[in-house]
Amino acid sequence: MSIRRSVTPPRRTSVHRLGALRLLAGAVVGALLLTGCVSAAKPKIVPPTTLSSHTDEQVAPELEPYYKQDVSWAPCLDPGMQCADLIAPVDWANPGGERITLAIAKRPAESGKARGSMLINPGGPGGSGIEFLRGFQGSKGVMSDYDVVGFDPRGVGESTPIVCFTDDRDRDRMLSGTFRDPYGSAGWEKELDTRQKAWVDACVKNTGPLLAHIDTASVSRDLDMMRAVLGDDKLNYLGISFGTYIGSVYAALFPAKVGRMVLDGAVEPPYGSFESSVRQAAGFDRAFAAYLTKCLKSADCPVQGPLAKAKKQAHDLILTVDRKKLKASDGRLLDSSTVVDAIAYNLYAEFSWDTVTEVLRAVKKGDAGPVFEQADSSNERLPDGEYFGRLMDVLVAVGCAEPTRDDSPGLQEGIDRISKAAPVLGSIGVYDNFAASEKACAHWPYPKPTETLDFTAPGAAPILVLGTTGDPATPYSQAVALSKLLSSGVLVTHKGEGHGAYGRGVGCIDGIVDDYFVRGKVPASQPTC
C-alpha cells in the first residue's frame, strides 16, 4: 500500500539510513527517519525540572489545563537534548473529554540566552519531530539563538500513537505483499479492497477515539498550545515537506500568532487532492529521468541510451519481476510496485542516486535482496522483520481524515490519468499508492472536519516558502502556488535536484533562511539560488 508521502529526504549518517518515500500529496518516512536513528525510549534519568514558562495570554477556562500546564524537562538519552510530555485533548472542540500525551524534545540555545523557541517538523504525515531533532543541524546563529524544539504529532512516535495492525505479518502483506491476480484485474481490485478494509477495521479497533481526530487542524491546535506552554507569544517554525502543510494550516487558524515561519518543500493546500497526486507522480518520473541522464554518462549504467530508450528499458525491466517470482531470503515475493518503492525512496536526494543503480542491477541479476532492503527502509521495517514505526498508518489515516477537495475521478480513471502523466514509474506504482488510498478511504468511518480555512492567512507576518525546481515529492509548482496563496508569502527558489533545500549544503539558501530566523531579514525580492 505504498502511498507517496511528503517528508524530509534521507540523510547520510554513521548509522543506517531509515526511510522516506511515499505521500499522496507529497510522500513520508522516511520521515521517520530522517536522521538515521531508530527511535529510543526517553527515560527520566534524573529528577525533572518543572518550569512555569507558559505565556500569560488569556484563553477560555476550559483550555487553561492545556495552555497553562507546566513543562517537566528531563535529559533524553541523546546528549544535549531534553524531553518532556504535554497533555492535549483528543478533541479540541470538547476539551473536557479524553486526553492524549504529546512528546516534545529540545536542544537548548547554545548561547544560554534563548530569544525563544523554534519548533520543527520533518513532514510525513507521520514523521517524528523528535527523531528529526536528533540529526538537526541548523546554522550557528539559529542553534545559538533558539531553543530548537521537535515534537511528535498526535498519533506519531512517542506521543499517543495510532495503532492498526499489531502483527508484523499483517503489515508485510499490506506494505509489500503480492496479489493473486494481475494489477488492474477485477480479482486484484477485490483483494485490495478486502486488505484495505481490514486495515481500517484494525485502526478503529486498536486506536480508539484519537483516530477520529487525527486531522491537521487538530495538530495545528496542538502546535499553538505548545507555543504558549513554551512561553512564546508567536510561533517560530520550520516545516519541511508535509510539515509545510501543518504550517499553512496553523497560519490559517492563527495568522496573528505567526512569528518567523519557513516552509521548505511546500505542499499546496488543500492536502491530498487528486491533481496533487498526478503532479507528484510526474515529479518522480522527472527525477528518474534526471537520474538516468546522469547514469548514462557512466560505463556501468544498467540501461543504455539515448534517454527515451533508457526510460523504456528501465520500465520494462521493472515489470519483469512480476513473472520472475523473485524471493527475498525470508520468502517474500518481489513485485514491480516494490521495485518502484525502492527506486523512489532514493530519488529524494541526489546523493542516493547510486543506490538506484544498485537496485536496477539487482533486478537484472534476479536478486530480490537489495530491492527489499531499500523498500523495507522506506516502510520502517528492520532486517529481522520488525517494524520500528507506524508512519505508514499515520500517512494513510491523515489522508483519509483531511477535508480535501473531492476531486477524485474514480479508481480506473485515476489509474489511467496518473499512468499517462507518469508512464515510467507512476504507471507501475499507481496500483499500490493511489489505488490503495482510494480503497482505504472508501471505508473510513469518521466524518471529515467541516471547518473552512482561509489559507491566505491575512495579517500573518512574512512567511518564506522554499521550492526546489527538481523536487520529486512536492514539485516546485506547489511552492509557487503556496507563496502566491499566502497573503505574506515570499518565494525562495533553489535550482537543483532533491526534496527540501535548507540545511543541505546550499549556501545561498542557508544564508537567506539564517538571515530571516536570526536577524528577521526578509528578502526584498523573490531570490533564486
For residues 81 and 352, give the distance between their C-alpha atoms in angstroms, rounded to a whole number: 29
Q: Which amino acid is at 487?
A: S
* Helix/strand/coil for 174: helix
Q: Name the active-site residue from 471, 483, 494, 510.
A: 471
Let me know: does 265 contact 6? Beta carbons within 8 Å: yes
Active site residue 499: yes
Output the CA angle 362-295-434, nearest 5 degrees. 65
Q: Cα-Cα-Cα-Cα dihedral of 397, 401, 404, 410, to 10°? A: 60
Helical spans, DSSP H, in 296-409: 307-319, 321-324, 336-345, 353-365, 369-378, 391-401
* Helix/strand/coil for 45: coil
Q: For residue 494, what is the enclosing H or E element?
A: strand 489-497
Q: Which amino acid is at 51?
A: L
Residue 302, judged by CB atoms within 10 A of its CB (0-12, 13-18, 19+), counts as buried
Q: For residue 418, what is the enclosing H or E element?
A: helix 411-421
For residues 524 and 176, give the distance between their C-alpha atoms in angstroms, rounded to a whole number: 48
Find all residues with CB under 8 Å of 33, minimum gap 6, and list them: 10, 17, 18, 19, 20, 127, 128, 131, 380, 389
What cell numbers appear for 351 in the block? 546523493
For residues 82 and 74, give the distance between their C-alpha atoms in angstroms, rounded to a whole number: 5
What cell numbers appear for 114 in the block? 534563548
Beta strands in 131-242 (DSSP E): 146-151, 235-240
Residue 106 backbone dihedrals phi, psi, to 5 degrees: -140, 150
Q: Name the active-site residue from 54, 315, 494, 499.
A: 499
* Helix/strand/coil for 71: strand
For residues 239 and 271, give the distance between their C-alpha atoms in angstroms, rounded to a whole number: 15
CA-CA-CA-CA torsion sign (317, 320, 322, 325): negative
Let me know: does 198 contact 171? Beta carbons within 8 Å: no
Q: For residue 420, what is the enclosing H or E element?
A: helix 411-421
For residues 320 and 302, give the distance between their C-alpha atoms in angstroms, rounded to a whole number: 15
Helical spans, DSSP H, in 230-331: 242-253, 274-295, 307-319, 321-324
Inter-axis angle of helices 353-365 and 369-378, nearest 10: 140
Q: Name the active-site residue from 2, 128, 241, 419.
A: 241
What cell numbers appear for 480 in the block? 509557487
Total number of residues shown for the chain: 529
- The residues assigned a catalytic role are 241, 471, 499
